[in-house]
Structure 1
């Protein structure tokens, strides 16, 4: 089965979906039915074929969130191409790397990003640039207008034979540890992952799922959104950039959203609103969250304020199943500190440095296995050999599985702090510091120390208009953390560096503050 099946069901040969059912809705109001989405997809597909795109060719998508984003993605899928969904936050050199690494033949891009592409036009394999200019931005003379896509025929008769093992999407990993690698998704990976979610959470035609992240990321499209489309429901799409939790809460009420994916920092913003109880959230049944573990304070607070909303914590990664593990809301009271149990058709284990499976209660590297685990990175033989072993994806994350089969995330292998012979897991320290009323966000890292090898450094983002000292934070941690786990240094920032999936890029913080404990030389 191929990804195009999600839309083919409105056509006469299948007709298991009503063409007039709403498929997509922008938070600002515009909607597309399944019939409109399928017709637009077919027009785009025919236009891409006319531009010479053939099975296996890569088509870059450098767009902000929009209805058209889905149409481009499905169009590429229907003609056997590979959609390269690119982070619009990247700078010129980073864009050049991905376009060259992927070998993209066509690039669909937003007009506002033309300035970043101009310097590298002749330095990539891209033959055709197609410019999306809805806001009347000027289309550069080296690109074609978006209208060319809409000129394709609405019937797609030139469709190639597609196998479920054929690739459909190339997703460059978020890069919490360095330069991104392209994870190659197949039609099989995509359909299976959507089906796993639909089965797990009983999605149907009445489900209204909202995505709050950028569509270039699996956390916004593959997580929840494609599963809702598979189930015949409606996907609400948030606008790109300048995330506002108040606007999101308003949209939930306006669109009667039943399911929403919120990254942890979004939940923290929501729960710290003084008037949070004034928003209409009666329709909301489930909040899904991943990227970083949810701190216990937030779990308790959400249940206290909105007991009818189930918080589903999820764990996964682009290449190893984006939602490999989930925690049912019914388990939150007793297992709220864990990520939960494996999703349907998914296996999880924890191994030591030699790859041996560890028994319950022991911390090791998390490995995942199942139909949504990709088989390879794009053109990265060495990384493939290390990551994909005997069908298992070695995630690089640390965790522990208890006797009942629940997985607890301990952090990245590189995030673990080794101080004075003790192992310190940052999430333990973060869970304490975030509870301070003046703390908006926190990341804990290990920095080099001449005596202890590493010591704990807490990077703090204060709530607007609030102040807090290092002394106050240390006093607050008293009685909650062992002495060796307490931060020996603090850094205060306006915001933490994050990936598109909301993960804190701790490698950047470690690099920036690695000399914090070095002796200062007077000039």
Structure 2
């Protein structure tokens, strides 16, 4: 059985157990099974063909989870879309994936419509939306779809250094293997209640937490978004046993004066990832919650994501490490010829296992470059220590991680180059006390032209998601380059970082 079928099976075997908690609403496994089957049945009834892509452009809710599983249960491919992107960015994803239908929040409908993509239909969640009517339609009967291990189940778009997002094709086998791997690595059981505050359209929330907890028959406590007050209140009220956050979230929570008064006797595990967690923050987290274990997680969309984990016993002794290889997973650091290199030396991190993606949608060249002889070349530079633990030295070339969101400089630079007055532009990451790092723009203006920082930022607001907009702009006479003309970004960082 694959994940959509496992949800249905739990609907039969433990129909009265609470599966999802969202705001004041609880759905049991039995109720959820019916809702997922109705979504599948509706899409089948509408005549969509097996393998058609259904885009899911929605925020966190129990309805998102129902759509995610319902789409797959019907034999279709689910394409979750980042709700923080602009209409033009979303439009590219709709078009590239050839999405046939869209499930979206009522509040996001206007942005979706701006893309002009020719969907056969758009189903709205919330309000008087059609999606809610489908969930309650007892006359819809699902025909079991024959799901195969190598069938594409989900396409998740991840930005690339080419400037355009790449569609990562994840199979039913990939997703099931990842659920099994993380369930083992985090000792997940049916008694666990996972509080999810990070976006479900991201692979971390959906594939590292939602699916593994579901696999074991546990419960999901879903919040629309992270909010210090509400998140802490929900932790207490729902008796959550697991919580995941990026370091910025933990920094905010630990700085609250009332944090030590939190009553969470069932909480057993804090998970963190997506950005480095400073020693002092880990230390403070463990001192504030001495009974709760902490665990660092590392992976990429291309490996569903699952590569390594740093468990509690190493949390302070191996600070900065992303840990050891996960079960059923091989991780190496290799040189440019693909040969494994000794501990201490820096090379590219490569990953092999059942969670490695099928490939990139409509991009055989990039797929062949990324997956070689069964190994997924991550683009991340790392090293191992004498105990075999992995450390990331640099990330995907010049990628910036702003509060857990990936920002690829080239994508931002391409927008800057659309401004007629700009001759050259370079984006680098600079430190930020809350977000870890933020993008900074270095700009060279054409001779005889003038341009203000505000004009640049105003243009970016129109063409980029909020988290990709440069935090500041610095004007230079020229960008530093090497003999071949490549911009030397590493010299911009120490010389110009604020």
Encode CA deviations 1:474-510: one digit per residue, 9 max, x unaligned.
Answer: xxxxxxxxxxxxxxxxxxxxxxx9xxxxxx86xx659
Partner of residue 183 from structure 1, selected from 168, 191, 196: 168
Q: Is the 8 A contact 2:251 2:434 kept in 1?
A: no
Q: Shift of the alpha carbon at 1:151?
A: 2.7
Q: Shift of the alpha carbon at 1:201?
A: 2.2
Report the counterpart of residue 314 of structure 2 in structure 1.
Answer: 331
Q: Shift of the alpha carbon at 1:190?
A: 0.8
Q: Is the 8 A contact 1:47 1:150 kept in 2?
A: no
Q: Is the 8 A contact 1:375 1:388 kept in 2?
A: no
Q: Is the 8 A contact 1:39 1:154 kept in 2?
A: no
Q: Shift of the alpha carbon at 1:3?
A: 2.2
Q: Which runs of 5+ in 2 are unaligned?
A: 410-425, 436-459, 461-466, 480-498
Q: Is the 8 A contact 1:253 1:283 kept in 2?
A: no
Q: Is the 8 A contact 1:310 1:329 kept in 2?
A: yes
Q: Shift of the alpha carbon at 1:98?
A: 0.6
SS in 1 for 2:204: coil
Q: Shift of the alpha carbon at 1:513?
A: 4.5
Q: Shift of the alpha carbon at 1:415?
A: 3.2
Report the counterpart of residue 33 of structure 1 in structure 2.
Answer: 28
Q: Is the 8 A contact 1:48 1:149 kept in 2?
A: no
Report the counterpart of residue 59 of structure 2 in structure 1.
Answer: 64
Report the counterpart of residue 127 of structure 1 in structure 2.
Answer: 120
Partner of residue 133 from structure 2, selected from 139, 147, 158: 147
Structure 1 residues 411 and 153, CA gap change in structure 2 (3 angstroms): farther
Report the counterpart of residue 411 of structure 1 in structure 2.
Answer: 394
Q: Is the 8 A contact 1:45 1:152 kept in 2?
A: no
SS in 1 for 2:316: helix
Q: Indicate the structure with greater helix content.
A: 2
Q: Shift of the alpha carbon at 1:84?
A: 0.6
Distance in 2 (CA, whole Å) between partners of 1:57 and 1:118 is 20
SS in 2 for 1:223: helix
Q: Shift of the alpha carbon at 1:320?
A: 2.1
Report the counterpart of residue 340 of structure 1 in structure 2.
Answer: 323
Q: Shift of the alpha carbon at 1:249?
A: 1.6
Structure 1 residues 227 and 145, CA gap change in structure 2 (3 angstroms): closer
SS in 2 for 1:60: strand
Structure 1 residues 92 and 210, CA gap change in structure 2 (3 angstroms): same
Q: Is the 8 A contact 1:63 1:108 kept in 2?
A: yes
Partner of residue 94 from structure 1, selected from 89, 99, 108: 89
Distance in 2 (CA, whole Å) between partners of 1:108 and 1:118 is 12
Q: Is the 8 A contact 1:40 1:154 kept in 2?
A: no
Structure 1 residues 214 and 202, CA gap change in structure 2 (3 angstroms): same
Report the counterpart of residue 4 of structure 2 in structure 1.
Answer: 4
Report the counterpart of residue 401 of structure 1 in structure 2.
Answer: 384
Q: Shift of the alpha carbon at 1:284?
A: 1.4
Matches within 5 A, 1:178-327: 178-240=163-225, 243-327=226-310
Distance in 2 (CA, whole Å) between partners of 1:456 and 1:319 is 24
Structure 1 residues 254 and 146, CA gap change in structure 2 (3 angstroms): closer
SS in 1 for 2:302: coil
Q: Which runs of 5+ in 1 are unaligned?
A: 417-425, 431-442, 446-453, 464-496, 498-503
Distance in 2 (CA, whole Å) between partners of 1:318 and 1:455 is 23
Encode CA deviations 1:156-190: one digit per residue, 9 max, x unaligned.
Answer: 2x223221111110111155884321111111011
Q: Shift of the alpha carbon at 1:333?
A: 3.0
TM-score (norm 2): 0.80
Report the counterpart of residue 437 of structure 1 in structure 2.
Answer: none
* Matched residues, number: 435
Report the counterpart of residue 363 of structure 1 in structure 2.
Answer: 346
CA RMSD of aligned residues (A): 3.2
Q: Shift of the alpha carbon at 1:145?
A: 5.9
Report the counterpart of residue 46 of structure 2 in structure 1.
Answer: 51
Structure 1 residues 413 and 190, CA gap change in structure 2 (3 angstroms): closer
Report the counterpart of residue 421 of structure 1 in structure 2.
Answer: none
Q: Shift of the alpha carbon at 1:297?
A: 1.4
Q: Is the 8 A contact 2:203 2:304 kept in 1?
A: no
Q: Is the 8 A contact 1:250 1:280 kept in 2?
A: no
Structure 1 residues 6 and 401, CA gap change in structure 2 (3 angstroms): same
Q: Is the 8 A contact 2:203 2:305 kept in 1?
A: yes
Alignment of 1:21 with 2:7, yes or no, is no
Q: Shift of the alpha carbon at 1:259?
A: 0.7
Structure 1 residues 517 and 338, CA gap change in structure 2 (3 angstroms): farther
Partner of residue 103 from structure 1, selected from 98, 104, 125: 98
